[in-house]
């Protein structure tokens, strides 16, 4: 069994293995649900982000160990084929549920009935027992998964990714709180799921503390990183040449969805503080922001550009649209450091991706980021969101350029322990335990 799966008890995280008698089998085929965002969408804009990467990479690695995956997601254009083979053993099924375009995530609860109907239609075309297990992602999918699992007589495994109570406890200024309906929905899913997968021990503890999850049903599985794509490659200088970036500049990079939760404004304010204190650095600093508006950031898509102008740093900030994973790896290689001042992160996949590419990370000490980043070894963790604190770290990198390479080397070594193969193996162990317990429960009912 994988060392990356841990079981929880009331007293908190306890290192250990999932244990069950006999020789339970792994599932042959899993129905994976992602209602609000498609694994085929470009991460970094709209509602597409780390969860999209998580689902794609996990599904591919599960298929590689002979667990077929069918991913159900909402169709967002009529031009999409009903199904797309994402990789051998991984099928994406597009479900018609509501209008193709112009439907915000907040409006999707009204379409869950239609989405469930589409899932059931797909299932009706198969023999009994086609799916061995349902794995839902995010609370909207959890409600569909709850019904599907009960109808099919299979276990439900759920991954939260984010939680309303946790997000509401750490809102950015001006951000919109998650509604009470989501809190109620999440509570119902926690109660219904056979297993809950948490990214970190802290997230598992939050499930128990905020949602009264049964600790025996919570397993910790760290997300992974594509170690073939995110590598130091041919180095920082070559990546900067490809992207047209100055070779000798300090380049603190923001990469991700532009919304208050991710706090790109903190980076801009920190740069403004730094340049007020050290105006001579203006000629050798460049701040790329790679990503698109998302969530509550959609209401003011130009807010970050206006902030840069108001702070007097528009000349050193460059805005770039979201890019594919291969080009994103080049941005990570080119950067001096990745900056993640987020208010909440269940894990923060981009932190591991950047480190795998040989780049240190400056991050807020929230959520899973203290697991992803080794403070003062592969980067720096900052308590709170005071721009001056981030400015101090930027100054360290400006005054000690060797930190970029020394911390970057340590970061690449650290990231190598987060491969997706390990995550998939650990997830398969959770599936196996869920199947075993579910079968045992069914047998007890008919005993």
- 408 in Cβ contact with 359 (< 8 Å): yes
Q: Where are the domain boundaries for CATH 3.40.50.2000 in the chain?
A: 29-224+420-438, 236-416
Note the helical H segments in 41-179: 50-64, 112-124, 138-152, 164-168
Q: What average pLDDT does the segment 354-369 reach? A: 96
Q: Percent helix, strand, coil in the chain (nearest 5)?
A: 45, 20, 35
> Is 353 marked as a binding-site residue?
yes
pTM (2 decimals)? 0.85
Q: Is 48 annotated as ligand-binding?
A: yes
Strand bridging mode 6-9 / 12-14: antiparallel
Percent pLDDT > 90 in the chain is 74
Answer yes or no: is 47 a known binding residue. Answer: yes
323 carries a ligand binding annotation: yes
Q: For 29-224+420-438, give the CATH class.
A: alpha beta
Q: Mind listing the pLDDT tens digit for each residue in 300-350?
A: 558 899 999 999 999 999 999 989 889 999 999 999 999 999 998 988 899
Check the annotation: does 431 bind a ligand: no
Question: How much is the average pLDDT of 423-428?
Answer: 97
Asked if residue 41 belongs to a known ligand binding site, the reply is no
Residue 43 labeled ligand binder? yes
Residue 25 counted as an annotated binding residue? no
User: Residues 111-154: pLDDT tens digits?
Assistant: 999 999 999 999 988 888 999 999 999 999 999 999 999 999 99
C-alpha dist (Å) from residue 302 to 60, 294, 309, 317: 36, 12, 11, 14
Cα 306–Cα 310–Cα 311 angle in degrees, nearest 5: 120
413 is in an annotated binding site: no
Q: Cα separation of 426 and 5, whole Å? A: 6
Q: Is 19 annotated as a binding residue?
A: no
Q: Is 104 annotated as a binding residue?
A: no
49 is in an annotated binding site: yes
382 is in an annotated binding site: no
Domain 236-416, CATH: 3.40.50.2000
Picking from 275, 226, 256, 189, the residue whose alpha carbon sits closest to that of residue 421 is 226
Residue 278's pLDDT is: 97
Query: Is a pLDDT exceeding 50 seen at residue 30?
Result: yes
- Above 60 in pLDDT, residue 13? no
pLDDT tops 80 at residue 73: yes
Integer Cα distance of 29 and 149 in angstroms: 13
Share of the chain above pLDDT 70, in %: 91
Contacts of 258 by beta carbon, 8 Å cutoff, 6+ apart: 264, 289, 291, 292, 293, 294, 297, 301, 304
Residue 345 assigned ligand-binding role: yes
d(CA 144, CA 29): 18
42 annotated as ligand-binding: yes
Which of 355, 395, 402, 400 lies closest to 374 in space, CA to CA? 355
Tell me: is residue 51 an annotated ligand-binding position. yes
């Amino acid at each position: 069994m994988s060392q990356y799966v841990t079981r929880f008890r009331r007293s908190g995280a306890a290192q250990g293995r999932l244990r069950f008698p006999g020789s339970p089998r792994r599932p042959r085929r899993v129905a994976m649900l992602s209602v609000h965002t498609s694994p085929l969408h470009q991460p970094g804009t709209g509602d597409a982000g780390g969860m999209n990467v998580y689902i794609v990479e996990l599904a591919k690695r599960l298929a590689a160990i002979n667990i077929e995956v069918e991913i159900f997601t909402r169709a967002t254009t009529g031009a999409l084929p009903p199904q797309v083979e994402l990789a051998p053993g991984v099928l994406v099924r597009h479900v018609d549920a509501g209008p193709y375009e112009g439907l915000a995530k907040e409006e999707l609860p009204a379409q869950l009935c239609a989405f469930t109907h589409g899932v059931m239609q797909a299932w009706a075309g198969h023999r009994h027992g086609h799916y061995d297990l349902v794995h839902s992602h995010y609370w909207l999918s959890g409600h569909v998964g709850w019904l599907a699992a009960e109808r099919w007589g299979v276990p439900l495994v759920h991954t939260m990714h984010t939680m309303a109570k946790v997000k509401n406890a750490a809102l950015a200024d001006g951000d919109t709180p998650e509604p009470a309906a989501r809190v109620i929905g999440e509570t119902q899913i926690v109660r219904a799921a056979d297993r809950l997968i948490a990214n970190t021990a802290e997230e598992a503890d939050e499930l128990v503390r905020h949602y009264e999850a049964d600790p025996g049903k919570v397993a910790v599985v760290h997300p992974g990183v594509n170690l073939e794509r995110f590598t130091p490659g041919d180095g920082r200088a070559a990546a900067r040449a490809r992207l047209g970036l100055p070779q000798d500049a300090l380049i603190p990079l923001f990469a991700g969805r532009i919304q208050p939760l991710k706090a790109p404004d903190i980076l801009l304010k920190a740069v403004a503080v730094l340049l007020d204190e050290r105006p001579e650095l203006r000629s050798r600093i460049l701040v790329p922001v790679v990503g698109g508006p998302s969530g509550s950031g959609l209401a003011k898509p130009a807010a970050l550009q206006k902030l840069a102008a108001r702070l007097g740093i528009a000349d050193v900030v460059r805005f770039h649209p979201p890019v594919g994973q291969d080009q994103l790896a080049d941005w990570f290689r080119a950067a001096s450091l990745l900056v993640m001042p987020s208010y909440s992160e269940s894990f923060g996949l981009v932190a591991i991706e950047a480190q795998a590419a040989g780049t240190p990370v400056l991050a807020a000490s929230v959520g899973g980021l203290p697991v992803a980043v080794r403070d003062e070894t592969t980067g720096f963790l900052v308590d709170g969101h005071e721009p001056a604190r981030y400015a101090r770290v930027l100054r360290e990198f400006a005054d000690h350029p060797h930190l970029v390479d020394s911390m970057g080397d340590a970061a690449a070594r650290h990231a190598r322990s987060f491969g997706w193969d390990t995550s998939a193996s650990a997830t398969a162990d959770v599936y196996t335990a869920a199947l075993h317990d579910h079968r045992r429960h069914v047998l007890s009912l008919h005993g």
